């Protein structure tokens, strides 16, 4: 899978999970159902990094002023 296709796949996955964030909201955090959905993002991103689709990624999901999910994966610095 090309990096651009992998990125598009991750964006599609994240956008599919975001509507679930709007159903239930806990002030100051997320509920267990949302946490379960967000926990599914990590393995997908890590698998694409291992395949070499891209060296790293930052996944950020927010709603309004709230950060619902934010995690960095892979390499912080790449030396050519």
Instruction: Pick out the chain residues at pLDDT < 70.
Output: 1, 11-30, 76-80
Distance CA 16, CA 37 (A): 10
pTM for this predicted structure: 0.55
pLDDT at 66: 84
Backbone angles phi and psi of 5, in degrees to 5: -70, -40
Three-state DSSP at 27 gives: coil
Domain residue ranges in the chain: 3-74
pLDDT at 34: 78
């Amino acid at each position: 899978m090309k990096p651009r296709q992998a990125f598009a796949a991750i964006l599609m996955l994240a956008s599919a999970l975001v509507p679930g964030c709007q159903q239930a909201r806990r002030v100051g955090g997320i509920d267990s159902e949302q946490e379960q959905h967000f926990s599914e993002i990590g393995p997908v991103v890590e698998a694409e990094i291992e395949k070499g689709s891209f060296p790293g990624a930052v996944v950020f999901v927010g709603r309004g002023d709230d950060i619902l999910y934010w995690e960095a994966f892979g390499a912080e610095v790449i030396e050519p």
